[in-house]
Structure 1
Amino acid sequence: IPGLKSAEYTTLWRRIRATPFEIEQKEPQNESQESEDEGVIVALDATGMKVTNRGEWMREKWKKRRGWIKVHIICDVETKELLGIRITDERVSDSKEFENLIEQAEKTLNGRKIALALADGAHDNKDSFNYLKKKGITSGIKVRKNASTRARGSPYRAKCVRELKKIGYNAWKEKYCYGMRWTSEGFFSAVKRIFGEDMRATSREGMIQEVKMKFIFYNTIAHAV
């Protein structure tokens, strides 16, 4: 608009950092939908994002400069929608954010039940299996090849290991729709392709906000009606 001054970059970025980027909660189902709903299949995964302007957060964490941060997501494999996201430094394991992502997804789904959770071997530990058992969610976690069939703190994991060894990986993969886990990988690829995988922010808060903005914005435009 003629006569108006252009906003300064610093002002724009300050406002962006103050904007609460959140995943939109689903509308609650009606009684008819609830009776027909078989539950949601979700996929969890994590990836790294490069830090171009390696800033104070990386220096504080490592006392020297490192190159990436970690993004953990959970998606609906049918709709390919983002249901939850967590941003950490590269030291945090995938399984550490497992419960947080499931809880975020439940909040986003607003009453719909998660029926099956798909995840790679990075999520294979007793805590993840025990949590799924407590929630009544079927595990689609790929266990390690040398996994023990003994309980060792998780009878449910032991049961899943025994089943996999009995029917074989290919039959297990088909039974639990494990191939649908590509949904989360595809989400990462799309975000990196459109927005790039480099981070421009230099502070911890800035990096978290930048990542959330990219992922939630892509989720919004990809599923706009």
Structure 2
Amino acid sequence: MQKTRQKKDKWKGNKEVSIDWKLYDKSRLSECRRILDLTQVFHGLDQPVQRREFQLSQLVVLLLFKILFGLSCRGIANATKDLRIYQALGMKRAPCYKTIQNTMNHLHSMVLAEINQLFLPTHTQLGGVDSSGMKTHRKGAWIQVRFHHYQQKKDFKKIHIFVDLLSKKIIYCLVTKGTASDHKQLKKILKECDWVRVDIILGDKGYDTRECFNEVTSHGSIPGIKVRKNASRKARGCPSRRRAVIAQQENMDDWKQKMKATMRCVVEAIFSGTKRRFGEYLFSIKARFRRVEVWLRTLLWNVLIYPR
């Protein structure tokens, strides 16, 4: 029986790549140097001057290396000593693992949020908000069989981020429990981001509430939130949502082009990139330390992101 040959049409939609790969490779090779240079950014953590053998600005850089390479506190302590990283940081000797671990006690998420503003512009055209889950326990199958400790339910935390879609940098992040609703966190995020001006804020159907539309409008931005299929055209105290419902029901393609809604996928790409580079697990146990860890991941992403 003779097989029929299917004609494969040549794909004409070739994507134009405008990335200078030489500069990209050069940027990747200088990642460790850029992290070491962050001691000047964290210099404010050393004030007021205290009688410490190791400065907090130096220890925070070691925490960033820990997250970047996915090491334990003992592992980064050994690497600091064997690879002489402590000399590059200006230390007299390498700190022990307990000193690096106790650095989390002296950090606060609000201080790290202020430091993060140094890497961001004060005005952007497009912003996006979304959430994703992060695992909290690294328990493999062998650990469960060996110690007879089986997990009945996998615990996870929800990470909410507000992103500059043009520079691919994270403006603000928030950690909540896994069952928290997305639309309830938008007000908290925009309240902490009053220093940045965003023209259009994009969001998925999880933010389709009148409260979210009003919060985005009061922030001085245009809500680019996709509404549900059965959305009502009645305003009911939210004229911005009424305009969005009418525009999407009459011509969805025109609304997407006007709001540049296809750029919302950048938020998903950032979640994917951070999990691939820094891991899918949170190594901290306490809630306060988890907030600090997420902010350290945010700073690390904003420093290492390649501008495109």
Matched, 1:207 2:290: yes
Deviation at 1:48, TM superposition (A): 0.4
Deviation at 1:171, TM superposition (A): 2.2
User: 2:217–2:240: 8 Å Cα contact kept in structure 1?
Assistant: yes
Which one has more relative contact order, counting CA pairs under 8 Å at least 6 apart? 1
Change in 2 beyond 3 A, CA 1:17/1:212: farther
Deviation at 1:196, TM superposition (A): 0.8
Deviation at 1:66, TM superposition (A): 4.2
Deviation at 1:208, TM superposition (A): 1.6
Paired residue for 1:118? 202
Q: How many angstroms apart in 2 are the aligned matches of 1:26 and 1:220?
A: 8
User: 1:129–1:157: 8 Å Cα contact kept in structure 2?
Assistant: yes
Paired residue for 1:104? 192
Give the AA of the match of 1:124.
D
Q: How many angstroms apart in 1 are the aligned matches of 2:158 and 2:137?
A: 14
User: 2:120–2:169: 8 Å Cα contact kept in structure 1?
Assistant: no
Structure 1: where are the runs of 5+ without partners?
30-36, 55-63
User: 1:53–1:201: 8 Å Cα contact kept in structure 2?
Assistant: no
Give the AA of the match of 2:169.
E
Task: Choose which of 167, 180, 203 in structure 2 pairs with 1:79.
Answer: 167
Paired residue for 1:152? 236
Q: How many angstroms apart in 2 are the aligned matches of 1:53 and 1:200?
A: 9
Structure 2: where are the runs of 5+ without partners?
1-80, 85-91, 140-151
Q: How many angstroms apart in 2 are the aligned matches of 1:78 and 1:117?
A: 12
Give the AA of the match of 1:44.
V
Moved more, 7-16 or 71-80: 7-16
Q: How many angstroms apart in 1 are the aligned matches of 2:160 and 2:247?
A: 28
Matched, 1:166 2:250: yes
Cα distance per residue 1:54-113 (max 9 Å; x no partner): 9xxxxxxxxx96421011111111111111111111122111111222233332x3xxx3
User: 2:119–2:302: 8 Å Cα contact kept in structure 1?
Assistant: no
Secondary structure at the aligned position of 1:84 is classed as strand
Size of the aligned set, in residue pairs, is 201
Task: Choose which of 42, 45, 61 in structure 1 pairs with 2:127.
Answer: 42
Give the AA of the match of 1:105.
C
* Normalised TM-score (structure 1): 0.79
Paired residue for 2:103? 15
Larger Rg: 2
User: 1:81–1:223: 8 Å Cα contact kept in structure 2?
Assistant: no
Task: Supply the RMSD in Å over aligned alpha carbons.
Answer: 2.6
The list of structure 1 runs, each at least 4 consecutive aligned residues, that deviate by more than 4 angstroms after superposition, is 26-29
Secondary structure at the aligned position of 1:95 is classed as coil
